Amino acid sequence: METVWEWFRWLDKTHGIDLSVFYDTGDRHRFLMGFLTTILLSLTCLMSSLAIGFIGAWAQQSQWRWARLAVGAFIQFFRNTPPLVQLYFFYFAIGGMLPKFADASGMASPLFGSFFWAAVSLSLFGGAFNIEIFRAGIEAVPRATIEAAESLGFSKGQIFRLVAFPLALRFSLRALNNNMVNLVKTTSLAYAIGVPELLYVSAQIWSDQLNTREMMTLLLFSYVGLVGAMVWGMHRLERALRMPGYGQ
Amino acid sequence: MKWQLIKGAALLSLAWGLVAGTVVPAMAGTFDKIKERGKLVVGVKSDYKPWGFIDAAGNLAGMEIDMAHDVAHRLGVKLELIPVQTANRIEFLQQGKIDLIIATMSDNPKRRETVGIIEPLYYAGGTNALLRKGVGVSSWQDVRGKKLCGTQGAYYNKRVAELYGAEIIAFAGNPEAMNALLGGNCIGFVQDSTFIGSTLASGDAKWADFEMTLPTEDEQGWGIAVPLAELNGPYGDFMRKVVTDWHRSGKLIDIERKWGIKASPFLQTMNKMYR
């Protein structure tokens, strides 16, 4: 491994291509931690946005008018505002209003840090789109299938869980895939509230080393790799869930 | 399939070569360019009161903006001000978006490899922290493991993190970092001592619970910068003469006083030296 790092040092010395994240131990550690933070933030947001999408789509089918109205308002609010504005809103407006608690050193500090607010804000943002995606999937389930389930004596809840949603999920996968890719890319906005993710650590590194061009390029390829891996996984899922006669 | 992979790899390496290997063309003749278009474009700060900030009327104002006006006046051209941030000012100059940096930029060896920092330097400041009162920090050693807000791209972030073990949460600009400090997201704000001094001196009530008690460390001079290729050309020579004249005539001391900044010992020393 050491020879690989030394090769990058040589690349810097002789060709002026300064990829300090490979030969400098400190930068390497920073970059790796940034990469892990991006992955962790992405996974958290993906999972919770899916949960929000599921619950929202279910509530949208509800008989209670207020539940449908609440979901509608939620979607309007989070789909129609820029994610960066939402991040600032949660971190500075909501975070600043919450009560503070004494930490180990006896200082009053806020309950939640920047990572938490980034995860909350991006999950809600991604979730709002997921609700719509699931809804479109549910509406695509043939009316006859639902009627068949009704005539077999399924309850409304059972129909949603056992018939409509499994079909809707398959119809939604393609659109869901797009939204998930977008969400992973949007995690880079967390840079603005000081979450040490990939873009944040890269900015720190290029400010110290002044190797902006190299870092920008590396950053781009890092995201290509990350999103590529996720898309590959989603395609595997799409194939695994494939049902002959439905869409494929 | 194999052929496609090879083609893909070739394309990727070509792209890498294009991006990483391209040498930024030497921008010879900025001096001529400025005179030809009759306009000097200067990158200044907009979040660094009172060196560079946006005044009540919405215009950029401050000590460094006055300096920029003076340079344009001496050149006999019009002035265009572009607000820059700590993390992008050097790129703006390299790309030719601006002709000159006057943006609270500290001098250091790494930066000298990338931009042409004009000597003499025009100002000096050190690293300090705006601390909330009663956080129990009486020396730099006490910040170990504590959260400090900062500004992205500032050179002292790394030093404070590595030397004293503080956890730095860096924001895009000073307003965001200061909001986070007021919101209790960190115990202090690492910044230049001059900036903290003038923040506290502004008499704004929201800073009543804050203080600057640590010793100022790692004093660095601030330099204006021209493209590296022109440091020793006519443009660089001209700027050196301007800054020398600022020190000799006491102009910087006058502007500093005009903006109500506490007199900097650096300016007094330089004035004595050149007078």
| pLDDT, tens digit, 9 for 90 and up, residues A3-27 | 888 888 888 888 888 888 899 888 8
Predicted local confidence at residue A100, as pLDDT: 76
What chain B residue is nearest to A111 in terms of C-alpha separation? B185
Given an 8 Å threshold on Cβ–Cβ distance, is A193 in contact with B86? no
If one compares B24 and B5, the residue with the highest pLDDT of the two is B5
For the segment A147-163, the average pLDDT, to the nearest whole number, is: 91
- List Cα–Cα distances, B187 to A7, A105, A143, A144, in angstroms: 42, 11, 59, 62
Query: Which token pair is A13?
Result: 């010395």
> What would you report as the CA-atom Rg of chain A, rounded to the nearest whole angstrom?
23
Q: Is B136 close to A214, i.e. CB distance below 8 A?
A: no
Does B100 contact chain A (CB < 8 Å)? no
Work out the percent of chain A whose per-residue pLDDT is above 70.
Answer: 96
Alpha-carbon gap, residue B86 to B19, rounded angstroms: 23
pLDDT of A153 above 90: yes
Average pLDDT, chain B: 88
- A189-193, A228-232, A236-240: which range is least confident on average? A236-240
Are B183 and A193 within 8 A, CB to CB? no
Residue of A nearest to B113 (CA): A210
User: What is the structure's pLDDT at A17?
Assistant: 86
Work out the minimum CA distance from A107 to partner chain B, whole angstroms. Answer: 6
Is there a contact between A204 and B158 if contact means CB atoms under 8 Å apart? yes
How far is CA B53 from each of CA A184, B44, B92, rounded to the nearest angstrom?
A: 35, 9, 19
The pLDDT value recorded for residue B13 is 57
Q: How far is A214 from chain B (nearest CA, A)?
A: 6
B152 contact A CB<8A: yes
Distance CA B176, CA B216 (A): 23
Residues B203-208: what's their mean pLDDT? 89
Amino acid at residue number A71 = V
Residue ranges of domains in chain B, CATH in brackets: 30-122+223-274 (3.40.190.10), 126-219 (3.40.190.10)
Chain A within 8 Å of B90 (Cβ-Cβ)? yes
pLDDT at A110: 77
Which residues from chain B sit within 8 angstroms of residue A213, using beta carbons? Answer: 19-20, 22
**What are the Cα distances from residue A70, in Å, to A57, A64, A73?**
12, 10, 5
Q: Binning pLDDT at 50, 70 and 90, where does residue B25 land?
A: very low
Q: What is the mean pLDDT of residues A169-197?
A: 93
Give the residue with greater pLDDT, B59 vs B16: B59
If contacts are CB pairs under 8 Å, which of residues 191-250 in chain B contact chain A? Answer: none
For chain A, domains (ranges, CATH) are 44-98+109-204 (1.10.3720.10)
User: In this complex, do A100 and B184 lie within 8 Å of one another by their Cβ atoms?
Assistant: yes
Cβ distance of A96 and B183 shorter than 8 Å: yes
The predicted model scores a pTM of 0.77
pLDDT for the residue B12: 59
What's the sign of the alpha-carbon dihedral A71, A76, A77, A79?
positive
What 3-state DSSP class applies to A159? helix
User: Above 60 in pLDDT, residue B92?
Assistant: yes
Top pLDDT among B203 and B254 is at: B254
Average pLDDT on A217-237 reads 94
Q: What is the pLDDT of residues B34-69, one digit of tens each?
A: 999 999 999 999 989 899 999 989 999 999 999 999
Quick check: helix, strand or coil at residue B34?
A: helix
pLDDT value at residue B21: 46
B170/A contact by beta carbon, under 8 A: yes
B47-48: strand order across its sheet: B47-48, B52-54, B60-61
Closest by Cβ to A214, choosing from B20, B149, B172:
B20
pLDDT at A111: 78
- ipTM field: 0.71
